[in-house]
Amino acid sequence: MVPQGKVKVIQHLEGGFIEKLYVADGDTVKEGDPLLQLNLASTGSNKEELQVRLDSMLLVRARLLAEAEATELAFPKEVAGRQPTLVSSQRQAYDARQRELNSQMTVLKEQVKQKESEVQELSARIKATTRNHKLATERLKMSKSLLSEGLTAKMAHLELEAQVESLDGEMKSLAPQVPKARAAVAEVKQRLEETNIKFSREAREELGKTEQEIARVQELLTRATEVGSRSEIKSPINGIVKNLKFTTIGGVVRPGDPIMEIVPTGEQLVIQSQLSPTDRGYVTEGQSAMVKISTYDFARYGGLNGTVIQVAPDTSQDEKGNPFFRVIVQTDKNYLGESEGSLPIVPGMQATVEIHTGKKSVMEYLIKPVLKLKEEAFRER
């Protein structure tokens, strides 16, 4: 038998020495009942130290926020008044980060100017070469006419042809260089933008971690402020104490370690039962069931009506390695008898579950062996 609600594990964030122990295994407790009292004097939870840590994190957050959003650095006035040394440290860190960013940006901006200058230079060369090529081509046409009339030397004509070919080759060479130079400009500009984005992203990532640390330290500080040097741990729910790890005064509870469990009471119970694989085909969710509690005589006290709410899709194995399907049955109530409290049922009790898979008449039971003999009479083994 297990409760449908979750078992509550009792822990303590800071830990400490057990000063008082109010419960034992099996005790029934109500929500708000004291379970034990810790002495936190030697746990290292110092309110002043926590306040300094929190102030430091708040100043770091202010710096990271300014870096992430590219805004002016502004510290919380109250914190700045308490921690002038920490303010100075964070301002120096901010200035150093800004100098580093500006240095990177300056280098990249100079590269952009250089690449843009190269584009302008190439464009000017192409323009001049195109103009010279046009003039040389016109002179070559005129030279051809004069050469045919014998009015110019062939050598001069050949020199003009060579000049046109040279200018033509230069134009073909310069043409693809401009797109490359422009692509180089775009690449450096992209790096410039990425540098800004990276700086902001890194600041935001650190800001997220800092926010988590602030929340953690704030929680520690709140606890330290509320409980002082002592802490009384109370039950969060109505339930039964189980697996109490400490039984003596002075026991050391380490931070976050389980101290005990509280098994909820007053909730609907469910039975985790084991079903033989040979019977799996007869059981489905929604079938009714009868739950017999081993502690109480079924012939005298009866059982609990229940419903199959879950059948495992695959088999598990018990301690002996035998396979079974886990079947969860939910009971209609958590007690036997007419009224609650007379025959209570608590988590941990053993039970037998009978699942109703159908109905048969007395005649069907009587003739079943005869039908089986008839079916197998003429089979060869």
Up-side HSE of residue 351: CA atoms within 13 Å toward CB?
Answer: 32
85 with 200, same domain: the answer is yes
CATH number at 333 reads: 2.40.30.170
9 with 135, same domain: the answer is no
106: in domain: yes
125 with 16, same domain: the answer is no
185 with 247, same domain: the answer is no
380: in domain: no
Handedness of CA 286, 287, 288, 294 (dihedral sign): negative
381: in domain: no
312: in domain: yes
Q: What confidence tens digit (pLDDT) does each residue in 257-281 have?
A: 999 999 887 666 788 888 889 988 8
pLDDT at 43: 46
Q: State what percent of residues in the chain have pLDDT above 90.
A: 31
195 with 282, same domain: the answer is no
| Averaged pLDDT for residues 152-181 | 85
111 with 242, same domain: the answer is no
249 with 302, same domain: the answer is no
Q: What confidence tens digit (pLDDT) does each residue in 45-62 have?
A: 577 889 999 999 999 999
13: in domain: yes
273 with 259, same domain: the answer is no
99 with 233, same domain: the answer is no
173: in domain: yes
Q: Give the relative orientation of helices 177-227 and 47-69 as an angle to the nearest 10 degrees.
A: 160
CATH number at 246 reads: 2.40.50.100
Higher pLDDT, 42 or 321: 321
pLDDT at 341: 65
Q: What confidence tens digit (pLDDT) does each residue in 98-152 have?
A: 999 999 999 999 998 988 888 888 888 888 888 888 898 888 888 888 877 777 7
pLDDT at 218: 93
- Nearest in space to 269 (alpha carbons), one of 317, 314, 303: 303
| Averaged pLDDT for residues 353-380 | 57
* Residue 63 CB coordination number (10 Å): 23
Range among 25-34, 158-167, 201-210 with highest mean pLDDT value: 201-210
294 with 353, same domain: the answer is yes
Separation between Cα atoms, residue 173 and residue 49, nearest integer Å: 71
216: in domain: yes
31: in domain: yes
pLDDT at 365: 42
| Domain total in the chain | 3
| Averaged pLDDT for residues 24-46 | 80
* Residue 332 CB coordination number (10 Å): 12
Please identify which residue in the block is written with the tokens 């043409």. 175
207 with 273, same domain: the answer is no
- Mean pLDDT, the chain, integer: 84
Separation between Cα atoms, residue 274 and residue 272, nearest integer Å: 7
Domain that holds residue 278: 268-375
257 with 138, same domain: the answer is no
